[in-house]
Amino acid sequence: MGKTYLRFWGVRGSYASPFATHLKVGGNTSCVEIRDGDHILLCDAGSGIIPFGNEMMAQVEIRELMIILTHYHWDHICGLPFFVPAFVPNWKINIFGPGQTKAEVKQNLDSQMQSPYFPVGTETWMADINYIPPTETNIKYGPITIIRHSVHHPGVTYGYRIKVADKTIIYVSDNECQYLDKSIKQRIGEFNAEEQEMFETMNREEYEYELKLISGADILIHDAQYTPEDYIKKRGWGHSCYIDTVNSAIDAGVRELYLYHHDPNNNDAAIDRIYSDCQKIIQERSASLICHIAREGMRIDLA
């Protein structure tokens, strides 16, 4: 395998779940490494970034990397206080995330390491930490380009369109797809004919917009946290039912989909069932989508 690859270090949503029943899929929270030669891009800094950091400490060639954060919910930043390269001089760590100013991004990361929540603060980070202005829309890191967009999740949350080695990777860890559709259908009885028509138009436009955000993806890594039963209870929490994720990927013409941000309540057997159900949907729709379960440790060659 070459040096241009994608590797999943953490695939769970919400909280780490290192339970014996979950280890085929993996227990660490969101962290994906995208590597092109000496350039390393990390999507999110959940607990999966901890073993990645330890692996970095075992090599000497690379001393710089970039982290892009989708948002600041714990499952996406909880690995940073234990990310060893941040504590080591001669490392440079570039960080990008949502916010108005660099100071705000820094504050969001400082907060989780402040007393009484953690023994040492980010002032003990000896690496050169470079906060990229959050107003940037088009980010370049060596041969990798990154474009952000907002997704449907509480607070400001980004999805990222990443171009690397002629491949388009779209990373959307937390997103409730087809939210408007679900909201309208739930209340459809309350609307008169004219309102229904208006909402249908709105809904169609919104869905077209959502599809545009993921279209052209060679690889889509997308939130697929809920089963239909979970989704009924947690509509509005900002996560997708896997059925909607698969259907959206098919409608957008995505090539390969990695179901991601797995619910900690779902053990390996439950995620196997989700996978089988997704294959059934793809077959029934005679679609060419290739669908996988994102698993911790999985490495995909991008060359």
Residues at the site binding Zn ion, with contacts judged by CB under 5 A: 13, 73, 75, 174
Query: CB of 153: closest distance to Zn ion in angstroms?
Result: 6
Residue at shortest CB range from Zn ion: 73
Helices 268-284 and 242-252 cross at an angle (nearest 10°) of 40
User: What sign does the CA torsion over 90, 73, 252, 300 have?
Assistant: positive
Q: State the pairing for strand pair 4-10/31-36.
A: antiparallel
Query: CB of 52: closest distance to Zn ion in angstroms?
Result: 18
Query: CB of 10: closest distance to Zn ion in angstroms?
Result: 10
Cα 171 from Cα 149, distance rounded (Å): 10
Q: What six digits make up the tokens of 98?
A: 């949502």
Residue 78 and residue 112 in contact, taking contact as beta carbons nearer than 8 Å: yes
Helices 179-186 and 193-214 cross at an angle (nearest 10°) of 160
Please say which residue, 56 or 224, places its beta carbon nearer to Zn ion. 224
The closest of 24, 79, 78, 26 to 51, measured between CA atoms, is 79
Query: CB of 223: closest distance to Zn ion in angstroms?
Result: 8
Please say which residue, 7 or 239, places its beta carbon nearer to Zn ion. 239
Query: CB of 64: closest distance to Zn ion in angstroms?
Result: 26
Query: How many helices and strands (H and E) does the chain possess?
Result: 8, 14
Please say which residue, 36 or 44, places its beta carbon nearer to Zn ion. 44
Query: CB of 48: closest distance to Zn ion in angstroms?
Result: 12
Please say which residue, 13 or 134, places its beta carbon nearer to Zn ion. 13
Q: State the pairing for strand pair 158-164/4-10.
A: unpaired
Classified as helix, coil or strand, 269 is helix
Please say which residue, 22 or 167, places its beta carbon nearer to Zn ion. 22
Please say which residue, 4 or 17, places its beta carbon nearer to Zn ion. 17
Query: CB of 239: closest distance to Zn ion in angstroms?
Result: 8
Which helix H or strand E contains 51, and what residues bound it?
helix 49-57
Radius of gyration of the chain (CA): 19
Classified as helix, coil or strand, 68 is strand
Please say which residue, 125 or 242, places its beta carbon nearer to Zn ion. 242
Classified as helix, coil or strand, 117 is coil
Query: CB of 190: closest distance to Zn ion in angstroms?
Result: 30
Please say which residue, 35 or 71, places its beta carbon nearer to Zn ion. 71
| Residue 59, amino acid | Q
| Residue 292, amino acid | H
